[in-house]
Amino acid sequence: MARYTCSFIVSITIDDLHPLLVDLLQECDLEIQYYTTDYIMAREIPGNVSFSKLVKAEVLIDKSTATETETRMSIVIKNEELPLQVDNHCRQMFEFIKQTIEESRHWHLIESLAG
């Protein structure tokens, strides 16, 4: 199973972050499967790649450390594909979603840490 993670600190309130993240994931051609105030799960829309390559994205919003000006969140991008190549579909989607978050005009990125 391929799995990639990244943590972000962005300058936005937690209340404003949640709906913007839902929109951002949908703009990345992911459909929202489940969400709460501190968790969002989305999946790649079937049709373009084989079932094992379909990407799932999980976003965890850290409510315990959120302030009026900063919110910490983590993303996990994964699929059932074995990461036999460095540039696999899951990695490509991870880089695309990570870049979309980093370059979003809705907040100022304070920190990004890929793991």
pLDDT tens, residue by residue, 57-75:
999 999 998 888 899 999 9
pLDDT tens, residue by residue, 5-46:
999 999 999 889 999 999 999 999 999 999 998 999 999 998
Domain layout of the chain by residue ranges: 2-114
Query: Which H helix or E strand runs over 96?
Result: helix 89-102
Domain 2-114 CATH superfamily: Kinase associated domain 1, KA1 (3.30.310.80)
How many other CB atoms sit within 10 Å of the CB of residue 109?
Answer: 13
Does this model's pTM top 0.85? My answer is yes
The confidence score (pLDDT) of residue 86 equals 82
The confidence score (pLDDT) of residue 87 equals 86
